[in-house]
Amino acid sequence: MSRINLLPWREGVRAAQKKQFMVILAVASLLTVSVMLAANMWVNQQTARQQQRNRFLQNETAKLDLILGEIRNIREQRAKLLERMSLIDSFQQRRNLSVRLFNQLPELVPSGVYLSSLSVVDNHIDIVGKTEAYPRVANMIRQVERRDWLYEPRISSIFASDRQPIALSQFSMQLKVQSPVPGVTQ
């Protein structure tokens, strides 16, 4: 008789395969859990690093905002100082206007023209006077036009007078004074 093994060998193989499958499943589960934990730790670490960078950038932005505020204040102060300096410079230039005007007046007024009044308001000069002849007033206008600091001479009125012994014509003239350029002395 032949020997036949009637033991359930297939069940033994299945049990071994099942055991091997469980071991592989446990190893795969452990490996998956460890990879997930490592990935989670790496993501948390990157998130913490990015939050730290964000806090650093916020702090630096706040510092720069303070510096920009100071710079803005300094620029405003600078603008105010420049405005004051310009105003003072214009006052200094205006202070010399009357001296300059009276120094050059004999060159501007030809003989035969007599000035009655002279008034300066802002950048306008009003002159009232008398003349022996109209061409002398025209000569005065040409003299004014030759000056670089006086411009737009304009006769507002001129009329003949009947007074004796000498008949003088009366005239009224307006001039404009060139605004001084800051930093340039005249």
Query: What is the span of the domain harbouring residue 145?
Result: 111-177
Please check whether residue 149 lies inside any domain of the structure: yes
The fraction of the chain above a pLDDT of 70, given in percent, is 89
Mean pLDDT of 86-98: 81
Q: For residues 126 and 54, state if they share a domain.
A: no
Clarify whether residues 122 and 163 are in a common domain. yes
> Are 71 and 127 within one domain?
no
Assess whether pLDDT exceeds 80 at residue 166: no
Q: Band of the pLDDT at 184, cuts 50, 70, 90?
A: very low
88 domain-assigned: yes
* End residue of a domain, out of 68, 95, 122: 95
Last residue of some domain: 70, 95, 120?
95
Instruction: With respect to residue 186, please indicate whether it lies within any of the assigned structural domains.
Output: no
- pLDDT above 70: residue 180: no
Query: Does residue 23 sit in the same domain as residue 91?
Result: yes
Q: Which long-range contacts (CB under 8 A, 24 or more apart) does 94-103 make?
A: 94/180, 96/186, 97/177, 100/149, 100/186, 101/125
Number of independent structural domains in the chain? 2
List, as one string, the DSSP characters of 48-98: HHHHHHHHHHHHHHHHHHHHHHHHHHHHHHHHHHHHHHHHHHHHHHHHTHH
Residue 2 has pLDDT above 80, yes or no: no
Range with the largest mean pLDDT of 1-5, 14-18, 59-63 = 59-63
pLDDT digits (tens, 9 = 90+) for 27-78: 999 999 999 999 999 999 999 999 999 999 999 999 999 999 999 999 999 9
The more confident residue out of 119 and 53 is 53
pLDDT of residue 185: 44
Among the candidates 32, 62, 95, a domain finishes at 95
The per-residue pLDDT for 165 is 66
- Look at residue 1 in the predicted model and tell me its pLDDT: 58
